[in-house]
Amino acid sequence: MNGAQDSASAAASSQSAQRQVRVQLVSKQEDIALPENTGPILVPTGLRRYALSTLVNNLLSNDKPVPFEFLINGAFLRTSIDEYLTANGISAETTLEIEYIRALIPPLHIASFEHDDWVSSVDVLSATSPAASWASAAVSPGQERILSGSYDGLLRVWNMSSQIVATSPSPADGGHNASIKAAKFVSPTSIVSAGLDRTVRLWKYAESEDGFSGKISPQIDLFGHKSGINSLAVHSPSNRILSASSDHSIGFWSTKKSDAPAAPENLVSSATSRSSKRRKVSTSVNTPQRGPLALLSSHTAPVSAAIFDAKDSTVGYSTSWDHSLRTWDLVTASLVDTRTTSHSLLSLEHLPEHHLLATGTSARHITLIDPRTSATTISSMTLRGHANAVVSLSRDPHSSYGLISGSHDGTCRIWDIRATKTDKDGVVGESVYSITRKSLEEQGKADVKRAGGEGVKVFGVCWDRSVGIVSAGEDKRIQINRGEGVLSSA
């Protein structure tokens, strides 16, 4: 290894006779880490990412070069080492520790599943998904399921061969009587959905032994909201659900019939009346009806999203068109904290290891907020790159630093919160990859700029370790993209 180290260092040195700096190359990923006895290496300060990547490949004696990214003090190196030293006031006499990780592998298009109407929401059931993990259920490779909620009012469960395994019933048989806006697996045998009919619906899901057909059966209808429901969050171990509604409230519900209070009679009767007027049918199914454990009221405009704290299910967070992020104590159903921003907040995700909440805005960017009461600033970081509202967020299952966003501009963008720069607006992040809609490519319009993502708006995105990045939208499709080890597992 010393010979390889000397030759690699010599090769790097021969590039120029400029200033040099000692660097200690380290990696947290064991399979690409250098031997422990690899000491600091003297390299020209003019080196950038590509030359450093060549150097590491030489040191590892890789037959096939692996592209690497480099981090100094937790931020990606986007300049030469010399420019970094100058910008940060660091002496070239210092031994610089540089961490390297595998570079992004662009997520390739795997498949698209076509629907009859716009697709608002997607979720995944896999060996690594929350619904399966909570239930300690085994899902074999290739047996994963994708759940979609559509504007036609139907839920569909798909297999990985783009075949529909099950479809939810019509309104006459206990189904939704308006567009679905949110759908999630509660467990491998349970689904929850909600939408413009103001009702949260719990379903039993069962498949035939061969897995080629299944049934989605009404289990409980939950009443409490007085307007459409925009999003859902599930915490199966505590049998709890959160719903975000345009009536300015957050619903807090139990998935267990025995725990839930009776449904408010006025809402049940008005829902029945609306259904019969709209569909001119009466339902033949007598589904049990229940009410909320609590309705959390404090927002002054439609609530766009509500989620559980990823590490403490007794804490909830919500975002609203009223520009605020609110923290809730779900045990007492009380408001704990309010953070007010400059824009309507449309989506929400938790990055627990960094004590940050990512909020998608109407102003085309993502604001990262520290919700802890000790935090002195509202915005910790701003992620810029979208050209329209950011309406869906999902964290990277491979990396605590990663996030994906879905936007009305027709793209999903992958972010790594270490890929930042500082400008007049503070710390700003740039996306590391953008996923476009395959439907545009197939029409030969991939390069055509669409005003505001017309026709291809993304409404929902889910990032699953096993299946990949699953997105849905106005093009009436679910789209699956996958790149092995998209970001490093750090």
Same domain, 98 and 140: no
Average pLDDT over residues 269-292: 69
The tens digit of pLDDT for each residue in 304-318 reads 999 999 999 999 999
**Do residues 219 and 226 lie in contact, with contact meaning Cβ atoms separated by under 8 Å?**
no
Same domain, 127 and 86: no
Tell me: pLDDT of 487 over 60. no
Q: Give the span between the Cα atoms of 366 and 393, in whole angstroms.
A: 9
Output the pLDDT for position 13. 45
Same domain, 95 and 112: no
Same domain, 38 and 172: no
**Residue where a domain terminates, one of 102, 117, 143:** 102
- Write the CATH number for 235: 2.130.10.10
Q: How confident is the model at residue 283 (pLDDT cuts 50, 70, 90)?
A: low
Output the pLDDT for position 420. 84
Output the pLDDT for position 449. 59
Same domain, 50 and 135: no
Output the pLDDT for position 489. 45
**Do residues 377 and 368 lie in contact, with contact meaning Cβ atoms separated by under 8 Å?**
no
Q: Give the span between the Cα atoms of 233 and 192, in whole angstroms.
A: 9
Same domain, 200 and 303: yes
**Is residue 7 domain-resident?**
no
**Residue where a domain terminates, one of 69, 102, 135:** 102
**Is residue 217 domain-resident?**
yes
Residue 214, token pair as written in the block: 């299944």
Tell me: pLDDT of 414 over 80. yes
| 1 vs 450, more confident | 450
Average pLDDT across the chain, whole number: 90
Tell me: pLDDT of 413 over 90. yes
Q: Give the span between the Cα atoms of 351 and 395, in whole angstroms.
A: 7
How many structural domains compose the chain? 2
Same domain, 47 and 128: no
**Is residue 351 domain-resident?**
yes
Same domain, 369 and 477: yes
Which residues constitute the domain of residue 76?
Answer: 20-102
Output the pLDDT for position 100. 94
**Residue where a domain terminates, one of 86, 102, 118:** 102
Is the Cα torsion angle 65, 67, 72, 78 positive or negative in sign?
positive
Measured CA to CA in angstroms, residue 25 lies from 100, 101, 424, 444, 482 at distances of 7, 11, 32, 45, 29
Task: Tell me phi and psi for residue 203, to 5 degrees.
Answer: -130, 145
Q: 3-class secondary structure for 417-435? A: CCCEEEECCEEEEECCEEE
Output the pLDDT for position 12. 47
| 302 vs 283, more confident | 302
**Is residue 9 domain-resident?**
no
Whole-model pTM: value is 0.87
**Is residue 55 domain-resident?**
yes
- Write the CATH number for 58: 3.10.20.90
**Is residue 3 domain-resident?**
no
Tell me: pLDDT of 474 over 50. yes
Same domain, 169 and 202: yes
Output the pLDDT for position 14. 46
Tell me: pLDDT of 462 over 70. yes
- State the first-to-last Cα distance of the chain, in angstroms, to the nearest integer: 26
Diameter of the chain measured on Cα atoms: 84
Grouping H, G, I as helix, E, B as strand and the rest as coil, residue 270 is helix
Same domain, 430 and 382: yes
Same domain, 59 and 118: no
Q: How confident is the model at residue 284 (pLDDT cuts 50, 70, 90)?
A: low
| 262 vs 343, more confident | 343
Output the pLDDT for position 488. 46
Tell me: pLDDT of 273 over 70. no
Average pLDDT over residues 197-217: 96
Q: How confident is the model at residue 256 (pLDDT cuts 50, 70, 90)?
A: very high
Q: 3-class secondary structure for 309-378? A: CCCCCCEEEEEECCCEEEEEECCCCEEEEEEECCCCEEEEEEEHHHCEEEEEECCCCEEEECCCCCCCCC
**Is residue 8 domain-resident?**
no
Output the pLDDT for position 15. 44
How large a percentage of the chain has pLDDT more than 70? 90
Same domain, 142 and 95: no
| 230 vs 374, more confident | 230
**Is residue 309 domain-resident?**
yes
Average pLDDT over residues 461-486: 91
The tens digit of pLDDT for each residue in 4-58 reads 555 555 444 444 447 899 999 999 888 899 988 888 999 999 999 999 999 999 9
Output the pLDDT for position 3. 55
Output the pLDDT for position 216. 98
The tens digit of pLDDT for each residue in 135-176 reads 999 999 999 999 999 999 999 999 999 999 999 999 999 999
Output the pLDDT for position 426. 82
